[in-house]
């Protein structure tokens, strides 16, 4: 999954980045409302926005309002230090999907992130099945015939993207977009390497069939 964090508190942002990256997410960070608005208007395919309300330059509620005015259904988790019920209600009315008041538990935030991403993908189970291959998106564990498959974090991310798009063509550029954070240089050839590492696993191979041979 790819997440955008809009938070101007650098200490909190660093904690969120470490936590979410350790769980396998691709995470980008901005520190102002203007930067958040600009990032959301690009072609980046985010699965979730974690949005602080007290952002400089452009308030978080305005960022949310602009996002929804563009017709985006991107799941949004609001972070707020405000104790005001009125402000929380306003955020939900503007189109937020959930909120957490600071301070909060990082473990609870991870659980809410997983729930919101599942909801954004159509809800239901976090498990994807493809023949004998089973991938648990919450636990980030892949098994074949009940036996765990040893894959790196990047390879698991690649597998997740392709399983979510089973039966559809996926280009290398799309995979780079989904798997790489801003400023991270990963070539199209590197994506091919990740795929080739997994092709010896016959049960995993069908998940890659929509990609093989594409640009």
Structure tokens at 68: 């929804």
H or E element: which one contains 129?
strand 127-130
Structure tokens at 85: 């019920």
Q: Domain-by-domain residue ranges, the chain?
A: 2-120, 127-208
pLDDT at 168: 75
Report residues of the chain scoring pLDDT below 70: 43-44, 82-83, 120-126, 138, 182-215
Per CATH, the number for 2-120 is 3.40.50.2300
Pairing of strands 26-30, 48-52: unpaired
Angle at 73 between CA 67 and CA 77, to 5 degrees: 75
pLDDT at 213: 42
pLDDT at 130: 77
pLDDT tens, residue by residue, 47-62: 899 999 999 999 999 9
pLDDT at 49: 97
pLDDT at 192: 67
Phi, psi for residue 27 in degrees, rounded to 5: -130, 130
pLDDT tens, residue by residue, 99-110: 998 889 999 999
Phi, psi for residue 51 in degrees, rounded to 5: -120, 115
N-term to C-term CA, the chain: 22
The residue assigned the tokens 């209600």 is: 89
H or E element: which one contains 37?
helix 33-40
Phi, psi for residue 14 in degrees, rounded to 5: -60, -40
Q: How far apart are CA 179 and CA 8, in angstroms?
A: 24
pTM, to two decimals: 0.71
Q: How far apart are CA 102 and CA 163, in angstroms?
A: 35
H or E element: which one contains 193?
helix 188-198
Domain 127-208 annotated CATH 3.90.1150.110: no
């Amino acid at each position: 999954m790819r997440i955008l964090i809009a938070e101007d508190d650098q200490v909190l942002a660093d904690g969120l980045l470490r936590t979410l990256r350790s769980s396998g997410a691709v995470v980008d960070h901005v520190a102002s409302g203007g930067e958040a608005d600009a990032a959301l208007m690009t072609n980046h395919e985010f699965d979730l926005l974690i949005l602080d309300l007290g952002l400089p330059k452009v308030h978080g509620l305005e960022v949310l309002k602009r996002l929804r005015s563009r017709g985006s259904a991107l799941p949004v988790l609001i972070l707020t230090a405000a104790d005001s019920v009125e402000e929380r209600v306003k955020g939900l009315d503007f189109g937020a999907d959930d909120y957490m008041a600071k301070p909060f538990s990082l473990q609870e935030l991870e659980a809410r992130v997983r729930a919101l991403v599942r909801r954004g993908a159509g809800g239901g189970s976090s498990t994807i099945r493809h023949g004998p291959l089973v991938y648990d998106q919450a636990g980030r564990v892949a098994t074949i015939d009940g036996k765990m498959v040893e894959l790196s974090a990047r390879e698991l991310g690649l597998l997740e993207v392709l399983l979510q798009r089973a039966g559809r063509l996926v280009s290398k550029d799309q995979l780079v977009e989904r798997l790489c954070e801003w400023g991270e240089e990963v070539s199209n050839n590197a994506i091919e390497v990740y795929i080739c590492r997994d092709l010896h696993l016959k049960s995993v191979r069908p998940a890659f069939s929509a990609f093989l041979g594409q640009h």
